[in-house]
Amino acid sequence: MHTVAYVIYGCYAPAAASKVNIVRAGARKFCAGLSVTPHTYQSWKNIIMAEQEGIITNLDSAAQGKANGYDNQPAAGIITQYVKDLSVENPNAPEAYQWTEAPQVDVQFNIAADAVNAEVHEVTLKITISASNERGQLYIVDLAYCGLVGIRNVPEDQAHAFLFAGAPGLLFPFARRVIADAVRDAGYAPLMMDPIDFGGLYMQQLQARQAEAAAGGEPIAPVTGGGNN
């Protein structure tokens, strides 16, 4: 499993959206060593745009440029997405509904990518929300939201960037809705998480990991089974 984690914190007024700030990135390290250039960064952003516009949808669709019957055109996209695990704790209900103090909301998330086969990965966006105030714990929400990601004929650096930045960015709006509904169903004002710059966090984490590797740290295995193409 390839994982990377970020820790975020924030607080919100019950009637307002959360104000979330990034305080740390890198609780876990990437398990692949490669170089990502600004060109690569733009490449996976183009892939995201293509996916959002419905251009990249079916990895098995007919495409030009086949050699010996094999589709050699680059393709990447979300095949399907789903809630894999969801838990909600509401330990102080119903007393907590009478508390008027503003809660402190802590947000942590972790990105993992597991190979299903040579062309499909399961990307997991794990989000943990903990809300409390000086009187005690309000709620804890743990969500594992997954997407099956198909990648074919994509260079290693772009594949890695798509798995750990592009795909999480596509999954996040749906995971955010699940969390908002879970908090609302627990009896509190829905928690509307601010958008997260997965691309920026990815670049920061990758640069830090590359610096460690250059200093003699643990070398990193590619996500596609090969090196940079």
Determine the pLDDT at residue 67. 52
Q: Is residue 65 part of a domain?
A: no
Digit-coded pLDDT (tens) for 4-51: 544 433 322 233 333 232 222 322 333 332 333 334 444 444 544 444
Q: Is the pLDDT of residue 74 over 80?
A: yes
Q: Is residue 228 part of a domain?
A: no
Closest CA to 44 of 173, 206, 178: 206
Cβ atoms 228, 156 nearer than 8 A: yes
Domain that holds residue 51: 2-56+74-214
Q: How many other β-carbons are positioned within 10 Å of the β-carbon of residue 102?
A: 13
**Sequence-ordered list of residues with C-beta below 8 angstroms from that of 169, at least 6 positions apart, any chain:** 48, 196, 198, 199
Instruction: Specify the DSSP element, H or E, that contains 148.
Output: strand 136-152
Round to whole Å and give the CA distance between 140 and 130: 4
Q: Is residue 152 part of a domain?
A: yes
Higher per-residue confidence, 10 vs 213 = 213
Q: Is residue 219 part of a domain?
A: no
As for how many domains the chain has, the answer is 1
CATH number where 85 lies: 3.10.420.10
Q: Is residue 106 part of a domain?
A: yes
Q: Is residue 102 part of a domain?
A: yes
Lookup result for tokens 């007919």: 62
pTM across the whole model: 0.70
Q: Is residue 63 part of a domain?
A: no
**Mean pLDDT lowest among 19-28, 118-127, 187-196:** 19-28
Cβ atoms 10, 23 nearer than 8 A: no
Percent of the chain with pLDDT over 70: 65
Mean pLDDT of 188-207: 91
